[in-house]
Amino acid sequence: MARMKFLCDVERCIECHACVTACKNEHEVPWGVNRRRVIVMDDGQPGEKAISVACMHCSDAPCAAVCPVDCFYQTADGIVLHDKDLCIGCGYCFYACPFGAPQYPQQTAFGVRGKMDKCTFCAGGPEEPHSEAELTKYGTNRIAEGKLPLCAEMCATKALLAGDGDVIANIYRKRVMRRGGRPQSWGWQAAYGQNV
Amino acid sequence: MTFSDKTVAKRRWRAMLYSLLAIIALAMILPSLGYVAAWAQSGPMVIGYESRDSNPRADMWRDARQSVAGTTDQSGPYTTNVLINNSGEIWREIRSGREGVPSPLKRFGGWIMLLSLAAIAVFFAVFGRNKIEGGREGLTVPRWTMYERVLHWFVAITFIVLGITGLSLLFGRTVLIPVLGARGFAAYAQVAMTVHNFVGPAFGVALVLMIISWLGVNIPKRVDLEWLKTFGGYFGGGHAPSEKLNGGEKLWYWIGVVGLGLAVVITGFILDFPNFGQDRATMALAHVIHAGAAMFWIALFFGHAYMGTLGTEGALEGMTTGRVDTAWAKQHHNLWYAQLLEQGVKPMPAEPPRGGPPPSAKSVTGSST
Ligand code: HEM
Ligand code: SF4
Ligand code: SF4
C-alpha cells in the first residue's frame, strides 16, 4: 500500500500560487479558508525561499490526538481526513497542528468558528464518493478516480510533489544528485518523524 | 640530582612553556593582521552574507523549524505565515499525551478531583456531621443579604454548569463516547461547548462582583491563624474563635475564588475571544492554565460544598434564607455574633410569629443602631 505524502522542492518553487488557486477552485473551498498556502521566508533578502504548505497527513497526527470528539481518521493510504458532521469547531486541531493546516470560516467572539476545513489530499471525506454531500463539505474526490492531488499536478515547475512517499522521495533524491547541494525534505521530520 | 640540577630543569621547563605560549599567541595574531588590513581598506566587515559565519540557507531552515514567521499572501481569519508551529506539539503532549505517554493534564486533574472526593468521604466517615451543640435555639440573626445570596447561587450554579461542560470536552472522548456513541457525543459536545463559551463570561463578571463584595469580610487576621492551627475544632477538641468568616473560609476565598478563579476567568477570556488575534502558542498556554486551575478549583470546591451542606449543620440556611440560628452563630462565628449584638441586632424567632416573614437581612446588617 502506498503511503501518501507531500514534498515541496524549495529550489524549484517560484511563488506563483498556482497550487493555492487550483485547490480553492477545485474544491470550492469556503471563503476565508486556505487549504494550501505559499509562505515566503526571508522575503526580499538573500536566500529567499518560497514554500507551499498544506496538511502533511502526519503519521500519529497531532490534530487527531487532541480532537475532543475524535472525528479524524486515517485512510489505508495514510491520508488524514475528518468528519465535519462530528466537528464542533473547537479550534484544538488548529492549536496542535505543526503546519497550521486546519482552518475555519469564522473567527468571532465566544469562540464561534464554524466547521474545521483542511486539505483532504483530494480524497473527499466520509460521505459517499462523488456525492453532493461530499462535494459541498469536502470537495472533489480525485483519489477515488485514481488521480493525485490537483495542486501538485498544476505545479508548473514540479516543485510540489504529491503521491506515494517512496516514489516522490526517489524523484527528489535524483534531482538533488543531479543538481548538487543538500536535500531539504522540509517538514518531513515534524510530519512523519523521519528525513529523506 | 643536585639542587642546582633541579633549578636548571625547572628553568628549562619554564622556557619551553613560554615559547609555546608565544607561538600560539603569534599563530593567532598574525593571521588577524590580514583582517586588520582588510578592515583598514574597507571599514568593518559586514557579518553576514560574505563572511562565512552564517549561511543564509541554513539560517532560514533553522528559522522555519523554530516557528519564525515568513510572509504569505493568503488571507482569511486563520491563515498563518508560520511554517512549523512547535508549541502545538508540546500542547498536544500535555493535553492528550501520545502513544504510551498518558496526558499529564488529564492525570493531574483526574486524580486531584478523585482524591478530593475520597478525602471528603473519609473525613465524613470518621468525624461525621458537625452538629449544632445543644440544638437550635430557635432564634435567628441575619447573615447574608439578598444580593449576596443571589450572587452566590448564580456563581455556584454557573460554576457547576461550566465544570460539567468543560470536563465533558476534556474527558468525553474516554468516558462519554463509549456511552453516547460518536454521533451522540458530537451533538452533546456541540451544546456543551456553546454553553461553556457563552456562560463563561457571565460567570466571570459575577465572580469579579463576588470578589469585590466579599473582600471586606475576608481580610486575614491573627484569629484566622489560630482557627487554622486547630482546623476550627473540626477534628474534635474545642472551638476556635472566628469572625464572620473563619480561617478556612478565608482560605477558600483567597486561594479558590480569587487565585484560581481569576486564573480560570482570565485564561477563559483569552480562549473565548479568538477575534483579538492572539496566536496559537498563547491560546495553548491559556488552555493548560485554564483546565489545570479549573480542576484544582473543582477539587477545592468539593470541600467547600461539603462544608456548606452535609458537613456543617445549620450553615446552608444562611445562604438560602439569609438567616442562621443563634446557636450556630455562637458555635461557629462567635466574634461575629458578639459584634452583631453590639450593633444592636435583635435575634428573631426562626418561625415568623404570625405568618409574616422575618425581617429582611438587608435592613439590619452593617448598620449599627
Ligand atoms: C452547590 C454548591 C455550593 C454550595 C452548597 C455552597 C454553599 C455555601 C454556603 C452554605 C456558604 C455559607 C457559609 C457560611 O455561612 O459561612 C457559602 C459561602 C460561599 N461560597 Fe459557596 N456553595 C457552593 C458553591 C460555590 C461556588 C461554586 C463558589 C465560587 C466559585 C462559592 C463561593 C462561596 C464564597 C466565596 C462564599 C463566602 C464564604 C467564604 O468566603 O468562604 N460557592 N457557600
Ligand atoms: S498536518 Fe496538521 S492537520 Fe494535517 S495531519 Fe498533520 S496535524 Fe493533522
Ligand atoms: S475543530 Fe473540529 S476537528 Fe478540530 S479538534 Fe475541534 S472538533 Fe476536532
Q: Which of the 8 DSSP states describes residue A137?
A: H
Confidence of residue B125 (pLDDT cuts 50, 70, 90): very high
> Which of A41, A49, A112 to mutate to test binding with chain B, by most B CBs within 10 Å of its CB?
A41
CB count, 10 Å around CB of B95? 22
Q: Which ligand is nearest to the CA of A67?
A: 3
| A49 has a pLDDT exceeding 60 | yes
In angstroms, the separation between the Cα of residue B295 and the nearest Cα of chain A is 17
Query: To the nearest whole percent, how much of chain B has pLDDT over 70?
Result: 84
The pLDDT assigned to B90 comes to 94
Q: How many residues does chain B have?
A: 369
The pLDDT assigned to B191 comes to 98
Q: What pLDDT digit, counting tens, does each position of A91-148 carry?
A: 999 999 999 999 999 999 999 999 999 999 999 999 999 999 999 999 999 999 999 9
B271 inside 8 A of chain A by CB: yes
Cell of B143: 447573615
Helix crossing, B146-175 with B280-306: angle to 10°? 120
Please report the domains of chain B, with CATH numbers, ordered by start residue: 3-37+87-349 (1.20.950.20), 48-84 (no CATH)
Confidence of residue B2 (pLDDT cuts 50, 70, 90): low
**The residue type at A46:** P
Confidence of residue B368 (pLDDT cuts 50, 70, 90): very low
> Quick one: which of B27, B79, B85, B57 has its CA closest to B284?
B85
The more confidently predicted of residues B216 and B3 is: B216
Residue in A88, A106, A119 to alter for ligand 3 test, most ligand atoms within 8 A of Cβ: A88
Provide residues with CB under 6 Å of ligand 1. Answer: B 143, 152, 155-156, 159, 210, 214, 218, 245, 249, 252-253, 257, 301, 304-305, 308-309, 315-316, 318-319
CA dist B258 and B254 (Å) reads 5
Mean pLDDT of chain B: 87
Q: What pLDDT digit, counting tens, does each position of B130-186 carry?
A: 888 888 999 999 999 999 999 999 999 999 999 999 999 999 999 999 999 999 999
Edge-to-edge strand list for the sheet holding A49-54: A49-54, A36-41, B71-72
Provide residues with CB under 6 Å of ligand 3. Answer: A 66-69, 71, 82, 87-93, 102, 116
The pLDDT assigned to B183 comes to 96
The pLDDT assigned to B38 comes to 57
Mean pLDDT of chain A: 94
For residues B91 and A91, the answer to whether their CB atoms sit within 8 Å is no
Q: What pLDDT digit, counting tens, does each position of B328-349 carry?
A: 999 999 999 999 999 999 999 9
Q: What pLDDT digit, counting tens, does each position of B261-282 carry?
A: 999 999 999 999 999 989 999 9
Kindly report the CATH number assigned to the domain that includes residue A148: 3.30.70.20
Confidence of residue B32 (pLDDT cuts 50, 70, 90): low
CA dist B8 and B192 (Å) reads 90
B62 inside 8 A of chain A by CB: no
Closest CB from A86, A88, A95 relative to B284: A95
Confidence of residue B3 (pLDDT cuts 50, 70, 90): low
CA dist B312 and B23 (Å) reads 86
Residue A19 alpha carbon to ligand 3 centre in Å: 25
Residue B170 alpha carbon to ligand 3 centre in Å: 13
Q: Taking the model in full, what pTM does it have?
A: 0.82
The pLDDT assigned to B369 comes to 32
Give the closest residue (by CA) to ligand 1 atom 33: B152
Strand partners, B72: A39
- Residue of chain B whose alpha carbon sits nearest to that of A92: B284
> Quick one: which of A158, A100, A153 has its CA closest to A122?
A153
Contact A69 B49 (CB under 8 A): no
The pLDDT assigned to B40 comes to 56
Confidence of residue B366 (pLDDT cuts 50, 70, 90): very low
> Which of A9, A37, A82, A119 to mutate to test binding with chain B, by most B CBs within 10 Å of its CB?
A37
The more confidently predicted of residues B42 and B158 is: B158
Kindly report which listed range (A57-71, B47-61, B354-368) carries the lowest average pLDDT score: B354-368
Please tell me if the CB atom of residue A100 comes closer than 6 angstroms to any atom of ligand 2. Answer: no
The pLDDT assigned to B115 comes to 98
Contact B182 A70 (CB under 8 A): yes
Which residue segment(s) compose the domain that A176 sits in?
4-192
Give the closest residue (by CA) to ligand 1 atom 39: B249
**Structural domain count of chain A:** 1
Residue A51 alpha carbon to ligand 1 centre in Å: 56
Ligand 2: atom nearest CA of A62 is 7
| B41 has a pLDDT exceeding 70 | no
The more confidently predicted of residues B35 and B337 is: B337
Contact A51 B64 (CB under 8 A): yes
Residue B318 alpha carbon to ligand 3 centre in Å: 44
Contact A34 B85 (CB under 8 A): no
| B47 has a pLDDT exceeding 50 | no
B100 inside 8 A of chain A by CB: no
Ligand 3: atom nearest CA of A82 is 3
For residues B153 and B161, the answer to whether their CB atoms sit within 8 Å is no
Give the closest residue (by CA) to ligand 2 atom 2: A97
Q: Collect all residues with Cβ–Cβ distance below 8 Å to A127 and sequence separation of at least 6.
A: A133, A134, A137, A138
**The residue type at A59:** S
Tell me the HSE value of B261 on the side-chain side, using a 13 A CA sphere.
24
Ligand 3: atom nearest CA of A92 is 5
The pLDDT assigned to B49 comes to 47
CB count, 10 Å around CB of B185? 24
Cell of B336: 461575629
> Which of A31, A33, A58, A88 to mutate to test binding with chain B, by most B CBs within 10 Å of its CB?
A88
CA dist A153 and A162 (Å) reads 8
The pLDDT assigned to B364 comes to 44
Sign of CA dihedral B266, B268, B269, B275: positive
For residues A41 and B70, the answer to whether their CB atoms sit within 8 Å is yes
> Quick one: which of B308, B205, B304 has its CA closest to B254?
B304
Q: Which of the 8 DSSP states describes residue A60?
A: T
SS (H, E, C) chain B: CCHHHHHHHHHHHHHHHHHHHHHHHHHHHHHHHHHHHHHHHHCCCCCCCCCCCCCHHHHHHHHHHCCCECEECCCCCCCCCECCCCHHHHHHHHHHCECCECCHHHHHHHHHHHHHHHHHHHHHHHHCCECCCCCCCCEEEECCCHHHHHHHHHHHHHHHHHHHHHHHHHHHHHHCHHHHHHHHHHHHHHHHHHHHHHHHHHHHHHHHHHHHHCCHHHCCCHHHHHHHHHHHHCCCCCCCCCCCCCHHHHHHHHHHHHHHHHHHHHHHHHHHCHHHCCCHHHHHHHHHHHHHHHHHHHHHHHHHHHHHHHHECCCHHHHHCCEEEHHHHHHHCHHHHHHHHHCCCCCEECCCCCCCCCCCHHHCCCCCC
For residues B344 and B163, the answer to whether their CB atoms sit within 8 Å is no
The pLDDT assigned to B238 comes to 65
Please tell me if the CB atom of residue A61 comes closer than 6 angstroms to any atom of ligand 2. Answer: yes
B173 inside 8 A of chain A by CB: yes
Ligand 2: atom nearest CA of A72 is 8
Q: Collect all residues with Cβ–Cβ distance below 8 Å to B328 and sequence separation of at least 6.
A: B132, B136, B313, B314, B315, B318
